[in-house]
Structure 1
Amino acid sequence: MTRSALVWWGVAALVVAAVLGAVTSDAFGIDGTAVDVWWNGLMGQVRDPFVVDVAYVLNAVGGGWIATFAIPILIAVALVIARRWRAALFALLAFLVSAGLVQVLKHLFGRVRPEEMLVISDYGSFPSGHTANAATIAAVAVLLFPRVWMVILGVLWVLAMAFSRTLLSVHWMTDTIGGALVGIAASLLLGALLLPWAQSHGTISRARRGEDTT
């Protein structure tokens, strides 16, 4: 994907997320919650104990100190071990930008969460920080390692996280859509700035090293 394409798609994703947040928070005087209420009611009817237990696991993995510190650090360490320190820095910056955008939108819109939440969460329902984090992981992985199987795994991971958030009634469905868009936007816009640099290994070639020793 070209730099201009990364910019356009990144800006488009962020704009759509912002508009969705404004509509669902009633900033425009538009009732944007009908689909959310329907989906939330549906989730209340499909809470199989095993599926709920999986959702609890995703709740722990996708938020708190695990998502904020442990997962980004583990990803960065893995990339450094693979001698991709530039990619590691790119990934860490993507997580930082994504988390920052999530907090800005949460405080900008201040959307109220569903009343029947099964877990305790922080202020602001829109966008879903868990889903944004999952989308950031997926988008960074696809940008650094553009493979079809990576895209499939990334999509499945984001969908699983989004589904778990609504199953636990901690988010409305549109919150998870907004979160996915924010995570993608952060990764694409940062990629427009740093991706060619991040994809290079940042090492001196053997030929260059040979020249330097002669």
Structure 2
Amino acid sequence: MPSACRGYDEWMIRVLLPRQQPGWKLVVPAVLLLCAFMVPGIMILAGQGEPAFNGVDTTWQAFTFTLHSPFWDGVNAVLNWAGYAGILAFHVVLALALLVWQRPMGAVFAATSGITALALTQLAKAVVGRDRPQGAQVLTDTGSYPSGHVSATTAFLMVLAILIGRWWMALLAAVGVLAMMVSRTYLSAHWLSDVLGGACLAAGVVLIMWWRFRDICVKENELADGRTIWAAKASRRLQAGEPAE
């Protein structure tokens, strides 16, 4: 195959080809993240809603009030939808896409990560029972710690970043999580510690899930020749000397 075609083909087929990491590089950060989620929750329970970091929460909340404007109100209304109902829909689309691309265990990994993060978030809300900030601009359920929007967003974007395995996806995931964290405090739906707790919980869950699913996901990716269906078709056309669609 001509070198130009090989370069194009290599660029096309590196889709959903995750890079392997030693097990401890997944487990240790996961445990640390889950501890970072649990410690504030325990402090909130012990302090009856007034933990040592309450001053940081209220200071940040006061700062977000200075950012309010009609434009940012509109942006955060979209993020409010995207961070919950939207993310659930995105999880379903991702799982279905992985099934179409002949990666059923990848679909199981994506779905299990999202469901587990959501279930643990709701359990923690019920156990901790923290009051939300006053003056929320959106409808909220009971329990402020941790943030469900941030937890769901973190789980989805981390799964996507792991499966795609590209630096730009990791960057987009980080930006997306930070945007959702700021949005929830901007809308007075959560304290700063709530959004940090949600991100830590979901990130820890996804890393644990990937540690368990990684080998079988990588294996099925290799059996699929490291390609998505459309990339494989493009490669065959290039090898035959035909223009790719």
Aligned counterpart for 2:118 among listed residues 95, 99, 115:
99
SS in 2 for 1:114: coil
Amino acid at match of 1:52: D
Structure 2 partner of 1:211: none
Question: Does the CA contact (< 8 Å) of 2:154 and 2:199 recur in 1?
Answer: yes
Within a 5 Å distance, the mapping from 1:147-166 to structure 2 comes to 147-166=166-185
Unaligned runs of 5+ in 2: 1-20, 226-245
Question: Does the CA contact (< 8 Å) of 2:106 and 2:217 recur in 1?
Answer: yes
Amino acid at match of 2:148: G
Percent identical pairs in the alignment equals 30
Question: Does the CA contact (< 8 Å) of 1:86 and 1:202 recur in 2?
Answer: no
Structure 2 partner of 1:186: 205
Q: What value does the CA root-mean-square deviation take over the aligned residues?
A: 1.9
Matched, 1:52 2:73: yes
Structure 2 partner of 1:12: 32
Question: Does the CA contact (< 8 Å) of 2:44 and 2:50 recur in 1?
Answer: no
C-alpha displacement at 1:194, in angstroms?
0.9
Aligned counterpart for 1:3 among listed residues 16, 19, 23:
23
TM-score, normalised via structure 2 length: 0.78
Question: Does the CA contact (< 8 Å) of 2:49 and 2:131 recur in 1?
Answer: no
- Please identify, of 23-32 and 136-145, the stretch whose mean Cα deviation from structure 2 is larger: 23-32
- Cα 1:29/1:196, change in 2 over 3 Å: same
Question: Does the CA contact (< 8 Å) of 1:109 and 1:126 recur in 2?
Answer: yes
Structure 1 partner of 2:215: 196
Q: Who wins on radius of gyration, i.e. which is larger?
A: 2
SS in 1 for 2:98: helix
Unaligned runs of 5+ in 1: 207-214
In 2, Cα distance between the equivalents of 1:176 and 1:93?
22
C-alpha displacement at 1:147, in angstroms?
1.4
C-alpha displacement at 1:203, in angstroms?
7.7
- Cα 1:204/1:10, change in 2 over 3 Å: closer
Deviation per CA, 1:157-195, whole angstroms, max 9, x where unpaired? 001111110110000011110111011011001111111
Amino acid at match of 1:94: S
Matched, 1:75 2:107: no
Aligned counterpart for 1:123 among listed residues 117, 122, 142:
142
In 2, Cα distance between the equivalents of 1:20 and 1:30?
8
Structure 2 partner of 1:137: 156
Aligned counterpart for 1:37 among listed residues 52, 58, 77:
58
In 2, Cα distance between the equivalents of 1:43 and 1:205?
48
Deviation per CA, 1:70-106, whole angstroms, max 9, x where unpaired? 2211111122222222211110000011011111211
